Structure 1
Amino acid sequence: MITREQIPAVLDHPVYDAEGSKVGNAKNVFFDDATGQPEWVTVTTGLFGTSESFIPMHDARMVEDHLEVSVSKDRIKDAPHVDVDSGGHLDEDEEHRLYEHYGIDWDAAWQEANDPGRAGWASADPEPDRNTETAEAGRTGGDRRSGDDAALRDAGPSGEDAMTRSEEEMHVGVERQEAGRARLRKYVVVEEQQRTIPVRHEEVRVVREPITDADTGDALSGPEISEAEREVTLYAETPVVETRAEPVERVRLSTEEVTEEETVTGTVRKERIEADYGNDEEHRRD
């Protein structure tokens, strides 16, 4: 069990669930009025830590720089909303709703808190002079403190003539989340192209040559008067289209981070201390 001395190491530190998943950061600690031991811890969740959820400190333990609790992250997210600005106090209805949500038996938890020999919710150092009526009132109401080690700083010696004034500070962080997707898609389109190339073809023409002494013999061979026929084959070139796939470029996706300035607005609480002099103006000092 987490002790009062460990509270400064709990606040503003990460909180992990039973499966080892981070839930958020510890913001406030609520104490049992009967035993004075830590009973609940609130965890800030959401994009900018705007939500707070109550988690039982039952079986919680500090591991290095973070707190491990015995419940799952999903159950923590579904916990009933309880106003943590109610003066550091949980009323009976609020606590009953939290007990019911986390499956904690109200009567058994009270008995464990008042029996130092039992485990679970039992106190390691119970207050010795509590009767049953006082302890029961402590479980269902009473004065609890929460937030920023308030339970420890207000526990000064009785009769002290000074008080501590505190202020909340706004801490703004960032959370990485998916903003969109980009993909490469390859598809085929058909387009027309034109090319101009030279083509050749044969044409026939009649060539007439006079008879010379050199070819007189060939001209006089054969019958003097006859019919004859000669044939030649004509050739022509025609365009032939052939396509081949050739690699032309490589295309890929790359990402780069761009930093922009964004203004975040939030509210913080500050304590103010005023002196009430009554009608005694004589002893007033500014």
Structure 2
Amino acid sequence: MRLTEQQIRSLYGQDVQDRSGAKIGSVGQVWADAAGEPTWVSVKTGVMGHHESMAPLVGAGMAEGRLKVPYDKATVRSAPAVESGTEQPLDADQLAQLYRHYQLQQQERPPQRMPGSPELTRSEERLRVGTESEPAGTARLRKHVVTEDVHTTVPVEHDEVSVVREPITAANRGDARADIGDEQREMELRAERAVIGKEQIPVERVRLTKDEVVEEQPIDSQVRREMVDADVPERARRRR
């Protein structure tokens, strides 16, 4: 696979697809032959921990920024692997295993790992703000008995006795008795008295309700971010 220098640099981290277009992983490292042409890549598949599966660039191609190899995903993922970040060239045993695995004709000289362009990954923190529910107290309804004074009036009746003296005249003398002696007459008297009775009646319903109130709460926090400074000798700096 003949690539330009820019394409070689762009291989690092690019997605790797199998012949059907399914994603296998991403490019971790690149190896070149004696002439400096890239011949192998390691693929980070995400299933082998700190190891990366090897894949040949024979028959591979670049399409829309992705590296497409002429093998299926299972073949690449089951290929011999190297440790992530290794700087060692592929030895004879590794090459023999790779050529057997992919059924390729073995080259005479082992390929060398191609270093990528120096780079740093700059990271920064993002503030994620959310809410969570927590207890804010308990509202209760409780009733108790209190005693209060009540003042009122009620009308009561009673009999009062008056002595009425009526003179005996010629007109009413026929009904009067002239007997002299002791005699007594009685009259029943009636009087009302105030009495107190109590009854219990419902007078009011009391219940609790709640409403959700949304308010803006200010949040002050700190986030970190990385700054990258390039220390380049004066003679090597690009003039603008």
Q: If the length of structure 1 is used for normalisation, what is the TM-score?
A: 0.42
Larger Rg: 2
Greater per-residue strand proportion: 2
Q: If the length of structure 2 is used for normalisation, what is the TM-score?
A: 0.50
Greater per-residue helix proportion: 1
